[in-house]
Structure 1
Amino acid sequence: MSSETANQDFFKSSVLGHPAGLFVLFFTEMWERFSYYGMRALLVIFLISTFDKGGWGWTTERALGLYGTYTMGVYLTPVIGGLIADKLIGYRWAVIIGAFIMTLGHASMAFETEMFLYIGLGCLIIGNGLFKPNMTSMISNLYKDHPEKKDGAYSIFYMGVNAGAFLGIMLCGYIGEKVSWSWGFGLAGIFMFLGMLQFYFTQNIFGNVGLSAKQTKDLKMEEKVDDTPKKVIFDRMIVVFIFSIFTVFFWAAFEQAGGSMTIFADKYTQRVLEGNAGLTFKFVDAILTIVPLGIITYVLIKLFSKTFKKYSVGNIILSSSFLIIWCIVIWKINKEFSATETEVPATWFGILNSLFIIAFAPLFSKWWESKYNLPGAVKFGLGLVLLGLGFGFLAYGSSSIMPGATDVVRVSMVWLVLAYLFHTLGELCLSPVGLSYVSKLVPAAWIGMMFGVYYLFIAMGNKLAGSMGGMIEKITNEYSLSTFFLIFTIVPIVMGLFISALNPVIKKLMHGVK
């Protein structure tokens, strides 16, 4: 089958306006993100929890130092993973092998010993390096003849990312905090394994795209890269570099979600609800759980209608995964309504980001495909400004918490809800759009490697997030908690305004890429 025929076959079947194959990638990425965010939600809070709560009693600085190193690692290794796929094994085998290594990593962490913790994190870092850049590279190749649809495709794909994050944080976080840390870590591994099997048995839907390094190279040769003057390529690479620099600032602040914001939720947020407030939360939580899961299940059913006959094994594995999820969700809701006291898990707030993504991603996808689409630099700027405003709510909400106070003041959950809302809107403006622009600005022969380089800058942001987040206690004691969050308010807003002002220069350097 020629690559042109494979690409035509890929676009034959449609689900919600996009090829069915995109949703195979959607669900594969969903389970990988389920495992990543499910584990991430537990890591810091597990490490800093006291021994009587089953934790290891680490200091905040040490826990967030490891967190920052780990999250940096998962974005560093894609540089190597992209090269391995490009030169040796192709995108698909990189995804499959990476998923298997990550499964081993999650299984190791379930043992809850320091040696297995480091082994597990190492496996997750290596596996992610093979998995992450090559999923996005597959979309780039599959949509190579439809560049006008890329922004929308990446936004839909990003909804899959956050659907997995939503389910992972909700279920792994809940089970880890309420039942057992080991069960929480182990659950992440189970769905990583099921996601790998679903991808393996449904991969023929992609034709020969990403099947081997040779076919990957053949696809890239079809792009008329040689017709592009070197000067134009150089200018476009400058734009990728500029976007990458501002990406560092975004993720250094955004990734406080897994660190300082989780600590804020745990120590400084009023999470014990009584009477009507508790009952109301139980109903809201049940609705927030069932409705998004119902929407994702609807997408699954639509995919079944197009692919079940040809890819029955992969679809059966996928449906079995969802059956397990529904059983866990029903058990969780029943357990909560049976409880006399309502205590919101500290990890629960992490689902808000994913929930808002699921709600707003389709709207942003339509926005980017409409005549009101914004220039790339302005999208980045808007994303940074919205992120800063989100931290502004936390700075204001924590203003009543005085430094050095012996009695811990707990503030309303509203401030975290508003922060996650604005962070999500900022993320939708920047993160999927950044991936799309890398795919459009970079020559096809470099696409796998350059996605890895782009993730390298995200790695820098993640390490900074851990290092800066680890200073929360020091800054709070010397100044105030409000001051800590004010830093993350001012810096992103200033950087957002700065890159927006650079739009005329960036537009010129892009040479017609929109």
Structure 2
Amino acid sequence: MPPRNPPESSGVTQTSPQNAPTTGHPRGLYVLFGTEMWERFCYYGMRALLVLYFVEHHGWQPSRASSVFKWYTSLIYLSPLLGGFLADRYLGLRPSIVAGAVFMGIGSFFLTQDALPVFYTGLVLLVIGNGFFKPNVTTLVGRMYRPGDARRDRAFTIFYMGINLGGMLGPLVCGQWLRAHYGFNYGFGATGVAMIFSLLLFVGFRKQVERDVLAAGNTLAVGALVGQESAAKRQGEMDEAKPAAKGFAPMAGRGFIMLMGVLFGALIPVYFVSQYIQGHVPLSAVFMPVAVAGIAIWMTASLLSVKGAGRDKSLVIFILFVFQLLFWMAFEQAGNSLSFWAEFNTVRKMVFFDMEAEAYQAVNGLGIVLVAPIFAWIWLRLHRVGREPSTGMKMAISMVFLALSLLAMVGAAVAENATESRVALERVPEAIDLSTFDAGRFQFDAAKRELVVRGTLPSFVVHDVLKQSADPKYVESVEAFVRESAQASPEHPASGKLQGVPAEYDPTGAIAKTKPSWDAASATLTVNEPIDPPSRTALLSEGAPAEWRNPVRELAKKSDAARVTGFWLVLSYLLATFGELCISPVGYSMVTKLAPTRFASLFMGVWLLSNSVAQYIGGSISESWGKVTPTHYFTLFVASSAVGALLLFLLVRPVRKLMHDVH
């Protein structure tokens, strides 16, 4: 799972840690543990369903589903920057958390509706709610402890376990149970119920949280720290007075920094704007590069204003920013391409039970809960003997684990691609170009008069190829009838005449859920219920000629023999989890230690932005799923992770020197 909890580093009054308790934890910690656990249940349960909902329920292609996914997840990681700012300056922590929970609860229930405008509204409400909720719950955890309290780190460890518990239960309950047995709408509904639990828990025990914050000598007042002097500020001034590390003048020099600023602040957005002007990309593709460019210019100006050792330390943040982005770009395939793989390319049977596609995403949360104590023990043992890896080394190790994780998926893809399925077919309809489907793995062997596929033939390919082979008049009349059926009921059934129906056409079996009747003589279809999205997809597929439709469906069924064991996915998720444990705990802590105090919020925002950009880039790459072979797709991420690991290993020593006395 992506990094979820920046260490609480602001909003704490500087009271003395003397006589601070060193055993036990405030009761309020467990209130926040449950509050955050249910919120993470909501997020990860919903994320596990999202792309499969669009593909399986609405009949979309993966590219379209991935486009929505990338925007949703990138904005989810961007919204806490604004939400945290508004809470600190104007709203306060408690009202922000309550408002966020309410927004997310309403948004989750909106997702139970099939109408896409309502569904999109739900996604927007979730983004807004997350912005208010996420950063402020974490801040409250920190405010329940005095500076220097030894329990503070352990408190965040407990809090982190709650997050992963929610991240494990969400996909299991929403996907493995509700989606599999009752449908997507029930799965989304469960995320709304989870937010009700989260809200009730926080509101019901908010007084306890407030008492614990006050007992630690802290406050919930808005802007409590604005203008205060601190030891951290004095340390920042001392850093800027120190000389820069010797031998690194080119890397930390003004020329190098300005070059990077021009590259990210000018050349990248110019490229995307030119691509839009030439009609190669939509306007939406320009938004993120331009936004990143603006922040890059701001970062460059800020970095140039820092001097001495302070600039060295600041530069480390921007160097490691790139590798943080590479890591989460590949890691976050879990909610996107790996969901497609689990659904369409993996055997359901796992030892003694059937495992749904969403359930694999629970492996990460379970792995964190079980393995995190082991990693913590390893780092502690190495620290005691003076061998604990530096921040840069830990991040390099994380990239190695991630490369191995995606290498496991390459192994799975090679195994899946090794199986070839064939069915007899006289000819392919003239309107169909098979080279445009399933990355060229779906072909017609003219010599043997056989339809051939390597690996599995996913349902989204079947629906698309059959729809495109239907008479356009049929497609148009079905779309019109679907709209007219919206008010259908047993008392007032809806009827419509379909045009361009193929020979031996009978749609009643495909849309039995709507209790249809078919009059072949008049080509009239009657339904007693509204035609839902899955029934619409099935009805459109029925329009293909039977001599083409039946072999395609037979081939899809036959190709299930190419599905591979789910142990590939489990191995991949576990290796990725090991990588997360090497990068997630150190990133935020590093920023709080290295950033100059006067730019602490900006640089932390930049670090958070890396997750948003990673979601956007990773989602953009996922839009090619089904257009390139799975083997090539996963190989791309193996290469990016391996190159990132190699570069980081080469930069470990320079980065360590630029960090000066910070470890």
State the TM-score, normalized to the length of structure 1: 0.77
- The 8 Å contact of residues 593 and 662 in structure 2, kept in 1 or not, is answered as yes
Seen in structure 2, the aligned counterparts of structure 1 residues 210 and 187 have a Cα distance that, compared at 3 Å, is farther
- Deviation per CA, 1:227-286: give whole Å up to 9, x if none: 42333433322222222221111111111101110111111111146xxx43xx4xxxxx
Checking the alignment, whether the CA contact within 8 Å between 2:35 and 2:201 is kept in structure 1 is yes
2:317 aligned with 1:240, yes or no?
Answer: yes
User: Counterparts of 1:76-115 in structure 2 under 5 Å?
Assistant: 76-115=78-117
Which piece of structure 1 moves more, 439-448 or 411-420? 439-448
Contact map agreement 2:77 2:608 (CA 8 A) in 1: yes
Q: Does 1:146 align with 2:157?
A: no
Q: Give yes or no for contact 2:402–2:576 (8 Å, CA) kept in 1.
A: yes
Is the 2:312–2:658 Cα contact (8 Å) retained in structure 1?
yes
Look up the match of 2:220.
Answer: 211
- Is 1:356 paired with 2:367? yes
1:344-493, aligned counterparts within 5 Å?
344-370=355-381, 371=383, 372-402=387-417, 403-404=441-442, 405=453, 407-408=559-560, 409-443=562-596, 447-476=600-629, 481-493=630-642
Letter in 1 for 2:652: N
Quick one: which amino acid aligns to residue 411 of structure 2?
Answer: Y
Q: Percent identity?
A: 34
**C-alpha contact (below 8 Å) 2:14/2:230 kept by paired residues:** no
Which secondary structure state, in structure 1, belongs to the residue aligned with residue 104 of structure 2?
Answer: helix
Residue aligned with 1:228, SS: helix
Amino acid at match of 2:24: S
Aligned to 2:60, the other structure's residue is in SS state coil
Counterpart CA distance in 2 for 1:133 and 1:264 is: 32
- Offset of residue 507 of structure 1: 1.9
Residue 190 of structure 1: aligned partner: 193
> Within 1, Cα distance between the matches of 2:310 and 2:571?
41
Q: Deviations over 1:36-71 (max 9, x none)?
A: 00000111111100xxxxx11111100011001100
Query: 1:255 aligned to 2:262?
Result: no
Q: Which moved more, 1:63-72 or 1:491-500?
A: 491-500
Question: Match of 2:395, as an amino acid?
Answer: F
Q: Tell me how far apart the structure 2 counterparts of residues 361 and 250 of structure 1 sit (CA, whole Å).
A: 19
Report the Cα distance in structure 2 between the residues aligned to 1:10 and 1:73, rounded to whole angstroms: 39
Query: How far apart are 1:475 and its partner, in Å?
Result: 0.8
* Unpaired segments ≥5 residues, structure 2: 1-11, 241-306, 418-440, 443-452, 454-554
Matched to 2:620, the amino acid is S
Out of 171, 193, 198, the residue aligned to residue 169 of structure 1 is 171
Gaps of 5+ in 1: 50-54, 282-342
Give the alignment of 1:314-353 within 5 angstroms. 343-353=354-364
- Return the offset for 1:384: 1.2
Q: Secondary structure at the match of 2:661?
A: coil
CA distance in 2, matches of 1:27, 1:235: 40
Residue 450 of structure 1 and its aligned partner are, at CA, apart by 4.0
SS in 2 for 1:217: coil
Question: Does 2:56 align with 1:45?
Answer: no
Q: CA deviation at 1:454?
A: 1.8
Instruction: Report if aligned partners of 2:37, 2:162 keep a CA contact under 8 Å in 1.
Output: yes
| Alpha-carbon distance in structure 1 between the residues aligned to 2:113 and 2:107 | 11
SS at match of 2:627: helix
Higher RCO (C-alpha 8 Å, min separation 6) = 1
In terms of Rg, which structure is larger? 2
Shift of the 352–224 alpha-carbon distance from structure 1 to 2, 3 Å rule, reads closer
* Displacement of 1:191: 1.6
Structure 1 residues 509, 117: CA separation in 2 closer, same or farther (over 3 Å shift)? Answer: same
Q: CA 1:199/1:423 → structure 2, altered by over 3 Å: closer, same or farther?
A: same
Deviation at 1:505, TM superposition (A): 2.0
Q: Secondary structure at the match of 1:400?
A: helix
In 2, Cα distance between equivalents of 1:145 and 1:369: 22
The residue number in structure 2 matching 1:31 is: 38
SS of 2:628 mapped into structure 1: helix
Query: Corresponding residue for 1:506?
Result: 655
In 2, the alpha carbon distance for the partners of 1:160 and 1:410 equals 35
The change in CA–CA distance for 1:496 and 1:142 in structure 2 (over 3 A counts) is: farther
- Mark the CA change 1:454 to 1:21 in structure 2 (over 3 Å): closer, same or farther: farther
Contact 1:86/1:216 (8 A) holds in 2: no
What secondary structure sits across from 2:224 in the alignment? helix
Q: Is the 8 A contact 1:73 1:459 kept in 2?
A: yes
Residues 183-229 of structure 1 show CA distances to partners (whole Å, capped at 9, x for unaligned) of 211111222232233234242222264612232437x6444403423
Give CA deviations for 1:349-400 in whole Å, capped at 9, x if unaligned.
Answer: 1111111011011222333444143211111111111011011111012203
What CA deviation, in whole Å up to 9, does each residue of 1:459-481 have, x standing for no partner? 010111211122121111xxxx2
For 2:330 and 2:146, the matched residues in 1 are separated by 33
Whether the 8 Å contact between 2:22 and 2:150 is mirrored in structure 1 is: no
Query: Which residue type is aligned with residue 178 of structure 1?
Result: H
Are the equivalent residues in 1 in contact too, given 2:375–2:581 (CA < 8 A)?
yes
1:494 equivalenced with 2:643 (yes/no):
yes
C-alpha distance in 2, partners of 1:461/1:14? 38
Q: Which amino acid in the other structure matches residue 38 of structure 1?
A: G
Bigger shift: 413-422 or 231-240? 231-240
> What letter is aligned with 2:393?
V
1:213-228 map, 5 Å: 213-217=222-226, 221-228=229-236
Question: Is the CA contact (8 Å cut-off) linking 1:92 and 1:210 kept in structure 2?
Answer: no
Task: Output the aligned Cα RMSD.
Answer: 2.7
Name the CA shift for 1:107/1:500 in 2 (closer, same or farther; >3 Å). Answer: same
Would the aligned equivalents of 1:109 and 1:120 in 2 still touch at CA under 8 Å? yes
Q: Distance in 2 between matches of 1:366 and 1:387?
A: 21
Q: 1:4 Cα shift?
A: 5.3
Q: In 2, Cα distance between the equivalents of 1:8 and 1:116? A: 54
Return the alpha-carbon distance in structure 1 between the equivalents of residues 346 and 579 of structure 2.
Answer: 23
Q: Identify the structure with the greater helix proportion.
A: 1
- 1:89-132 CA distances to partner (integer Å, 9 max, x unpaired)? 34443333222221221121122321121111111111112222
Distance between the aligned counterparts of 2:138 and 2:586, measured in 1?
12
| CA gap 1:150/1:454 in 2 versus in 1, 3 angstroms | farther
Instruction: Tell me if structure 2 keeps the 8 A contact 1:265–1:346.
Output: yes
CA contact (8 A) 1:147 1:440 kept: no
Q: What SS is found at the alignment partner of 1:214?
A: coil
Distance of 2:338 and 2:178 partners within structure 1: 20
Instruction: Classify the secondary structure of the residue corresponding to 2:223.
Output: helix
Residue 344 of structure 1 deviates from its aligned partner by 1.8
Matched with 2:181 is 178
